[in-house]
């Protein structure tokens, strides 16, 4: 007796299809759950946030603060615009507008500003690094290393001896000493310390107005900072002290400058306060730590009375560069949308028209098979909508008219994937395959083409997003997002649905309205011209042909029997 055949462990196409559809359902449910959680607990919404052109927002005008008589160069303004744009974009693809008007920088941001974004814009974060010459509590009790001039002597405003470095006491002239002694930290905001010359000493206080300092010239600049992060200070054993700090990374020039300064100050260790180095933020001392080592790798750490929030805020400001100028907020106003509801409706109508045209084309071209295209577009639309609302909540993304244009363009790109797949399946039917095997063979060939096409679209979107600014960035963002979603839908919905439909009688029989009729597609024929039969024939037509052959055979047999009977009668007559 023959041994029973072993069942294949490989899953059938139907099982694969249901497994893919299950994963798709899990993804949609997960996205829906995340969005619902945001609405209930996280301040999210079921609708995407709109950009400046569709909703309006806030306009902030920043005026530069410079010394009396000093000019502001266009290069400085352009650099400030670039840095502020990076700070604003750190909160998401908000489609903000940052440009210059005269000597002012104008920032327009959609919606209402949160405190963190406002701080990024309004705090100029001009960072200077200066050596400490004198330090004292915020009272006039400083002890000078040089003698205070007598009242009859006229204080000198310039050093009598040329200073050799930023820590040289020769900087401390009698006039500067007098200014330091009489400086009132309560008047720090009016002292214009944030516009002091970089090549001269500076008298200022810390941000809490608890201590005052006499500092040397600027020896390193925040413009040379390439990265800044916040974190807790750790011990040599790796244990956290719980103290928050800001970790800075300098570029090559900054590393060189800081190496020279830290090496000099480390040599002054014990000669307080001359072994200290002050980080001056917008004219106020952020912290003035002692230099405990020569830092040669360009990675110093700022410590002070930080919390997690304040350390992160400062790190964010410094991470995107120190502005070349200090700014003051000249005005902050609410502005109306530049386009408005009518343009939004026009964009949505254009998208609807495009969708209708795609549906009409697919119905005309693929008949009942068009239902798969329509359902795939619906699934892609649901996932895209949920993703955009989640990104609006979590990443600050805002949908602009350009972003809507990206979604409209994506309709054609998404339909293109389905068309590639369907045509591959039809090619297999033309070559004589049955529908089930044609679906699998067509998928293997189409999937490579779809991936190559989508990789090109995604690459174009990424390059456009990196190089573009403003609303074009929003277009690239939606284009890239929908490209990824398109691939997911084709894998987890379109192909599985075709696998299941191939098992149904309507599609497998090659019904003319199915869009997969081999005879209508021009299936390959073999054999002599007078007896040509299609290699790919439907089950219904095969049964009809067999029935016709049986009928002809029966008629032939009856004719043969009748002929034999007639011959026998003739012979009997002759014998008689």
- Cβ atoms within 10 A of the Cβ of 297, count? 10
pLDDT at residue number 208: 82
User: Are 110 and 205 in the same domain?
Assistant: no
User: Are 150 and 209 in the same domain?
Assistant: yes
pLDDT at residue number 94: 60
Which residue range(s) make up the domain with 308? 125-322
Q: Would 568 be classed as within a structural domain?
A: no
The CATH number of residue 368's host domain is 1.20.1640.10
User: Are 485 and 406 in the same domain?
Assistant: yes
User: Distance (Å, rounded) from C-alpha 90 to C-alpha 111?
Assistant: 16
pLDDT at residue number 451: 92
User: Are 388 and 425 in the same domain?
Assistant: yes
Average pLDDT for 519-533: 53
User: Are 37 and 70 in the same domain?
Assistant: no
User: Distance (Å, rounded) from C-alpha 218 to C-alpha 356?
Assistant: 65
User: Taking 70 as the threshold, does the pLDDT of residue 20 lie above it?
Assistant: yes
Q: Would 348 be classed as within a structural domain?
A: yes
User: Are 309 and 237 in the same domain?
Assistant: yes
User: Are 110 and 234 in the same domain?
Assistant: no
Q: Which residues pair with 275 in a beta bridge?
A: none
Mean pLDDT of the chain: 80
pLDDT at residue number 271: 86
User: Are 276 and 303 in the same domain?
Assistant: yes
Last residue of a domain, one of 322, 354, 369: 322
Helix (H) or strand (E) holding 132: strand 127-137
The predicted-structure confidence for 22-72, as pLDDT tens digits, reads as follows: 999 999 999 999 999 988 888 888 888 887 777 788 888 888 877 666 678
Instruction: Kindly give, in sequence order, each residue whose CB lies less than 8 Å from that of residue 330, ignoring residues fewer than 6 positions away.
Output: 61, 62, 63, 104
Long-range pairs, 463-466, Cβ under 8 A, ≥24: none
Last residue of a domain, one of 71, 92, 120: 120
User: Taking 70 as the threshold, does the pLDDT of residue 552 lie above it?
Assistant: yes
pTM to 2 decimals?
A: 0.60
Last residue of a domain, one of 97, 120, 143: 120
User: Are 94 and 129 in the same domain?
Assistant: no
User: Taking 90 as the threshold, does the pLDDT of residue 146 lie above it?
Assistant: no
Question: Is residue 549 classed as helix, strand or coil in its secondary structure?
Answer: helix
Ranked by mean pLDDT, the top range of 198-212, 388-402, 509-523 is: 198-212
Task: Give the chain's domain count.
Answer: 4
Q: Would 3 be classed as within a structural domain?
A: no
Q: Would 145 be classed as within a structural domain?
A: yes
Q: Which residues pair with 250 in a beta bridge?
A: 225
The edge-to-edge listing of strands for the beta sheet with 97-101 is: 97-101, 104-110, 57-65, 326-335
User: Are 106 and 130 in the same domain?
Assistant: no
Question: Which of 41, 195, 35, 181 is closest to 128 using CA atoms?
Answer: 195
Confidence of residue 96 (pLDDT cuts 50, 70, 90): confident
- DSSP per-residue letters across 472-541: HHHHHHHHHHHHHHHHHHIIIIIHHHHHHHTTSHHHHTT-TTTT--HHHHT--EES-GGG-EESS--HHH
Structure tokens at 356: 């209708």
User: Are 314 and 187 in the same domain?
Assistant: yes
């Amino acid at each position: 007796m023959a041994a029973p055949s072993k069942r294949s462990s490989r899953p059938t196409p139907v099982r694969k299809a249901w497994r893919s559809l299950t994963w798709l359902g899990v993804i949609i449910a997960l996205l829906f759950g995340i969005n619902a959680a945001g609405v209930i607990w996280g301040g999210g919404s079921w609708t995407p946030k709109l950009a400046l052109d569709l909703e309006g927002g806030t306009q902030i005008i920043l005026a530069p603060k410079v010394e009396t008589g000093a000019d502001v160069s266009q290069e400085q303004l352009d650099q400030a615009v670039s840095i502020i744009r990076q700070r604003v974009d750190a909160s998401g693809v908000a489609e903000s507008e940052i440009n210059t008007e005269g000597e002012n920088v104008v920032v327009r941001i959609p919606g209402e500003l949160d405190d963190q974004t406002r701080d990024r814009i309004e705090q100029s974060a001009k960072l200077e690094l200066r050596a400490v010459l004198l330090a004292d509590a915020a009272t006039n009790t400083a002890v000078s290393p040089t003698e205070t001039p007598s009242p009859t002597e006229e204080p000198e405003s310039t050093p009598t001896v040329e200073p050799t470095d930023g820590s040289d006491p020769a900087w401390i002239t009698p006039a500067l000493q007098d200014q330091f002694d009489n400086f009132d930290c309560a008047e720090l905001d009016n002292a214009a310390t944030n516009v002091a010359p970089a090549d001269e000493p500076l008298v200022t206080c810390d941000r809490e107005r608890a201590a005052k300092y006499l500092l040397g010239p600027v020896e390193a600049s925040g413009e040379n900072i390439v990265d800044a992060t916040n974190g807790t200070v750790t011990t040599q054993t790796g244990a956290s002290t719980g103290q928050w700090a800001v970790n800075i990374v300098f570029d090559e020039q900054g590393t060189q400058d800081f190496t020279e300064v830290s090496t000099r100050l480390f040599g002054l260790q014990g000669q307080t306060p001359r072994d200290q180095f002050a980080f001056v933020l917008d004219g106020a001392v952020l912290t003035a730590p002692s230099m405990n080592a020569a830092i040669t790798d360009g990675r110093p750490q700022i410590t002070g009375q930080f919390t997690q929030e304040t350390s992160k805020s400062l790190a964010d400001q410094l991470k995107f560069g120190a502005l070349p100028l200090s700014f003051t907020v000249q005005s902050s106003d609410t502005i109306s949308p530049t386009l408005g509801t009518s343009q939004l409706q026009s964009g949505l109508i254009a998208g609807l028209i495009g969708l209708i045209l795609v549906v009409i084309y697919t119905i005309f071209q693929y008949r009942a098979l068009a239902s798969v295209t329509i359902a795939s577009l619906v699934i892609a639309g649901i996932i895209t909508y949920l993703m955009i609302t989640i990104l609006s909540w979590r990443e600050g993304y805002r949908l602009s008219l350009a972003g809507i244009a990206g979604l409209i363009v994506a309709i054609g790109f998404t339909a293109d994937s389905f068309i590639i797949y369907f045509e591959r399946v039809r090619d297999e039917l033309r070559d004589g395959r049955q529908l089930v095997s044609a679906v699998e063979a067509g998928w293997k060939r189409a999937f490579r083409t779809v991936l190559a096409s989508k990789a090109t679209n995604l690459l174009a979107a990424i390059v456009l997003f990196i190089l573009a600014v403003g609303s074009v960035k929003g277009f690239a963002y939606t284009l890239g997002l929908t490209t990824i979603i398109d691939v997911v839908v084709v894998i987890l919905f379109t192909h599985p649905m075709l696998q299941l439909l191939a098992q149904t009688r309507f599609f497998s029989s090659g019904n003319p309205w199915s869009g997969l009729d081999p005879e209508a597609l021009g299936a390959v024929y073999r054999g002599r011209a007078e007896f040509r039969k299609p290699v790919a024939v439907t089950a219904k037509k095969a049964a009809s042909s067999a029935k016709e052959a049986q009928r002809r055979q029966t008629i032939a047999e009856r004719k043969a029997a009748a002929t034999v009977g007639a011959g026998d009668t003739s012979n009997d007559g002759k014998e008689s």
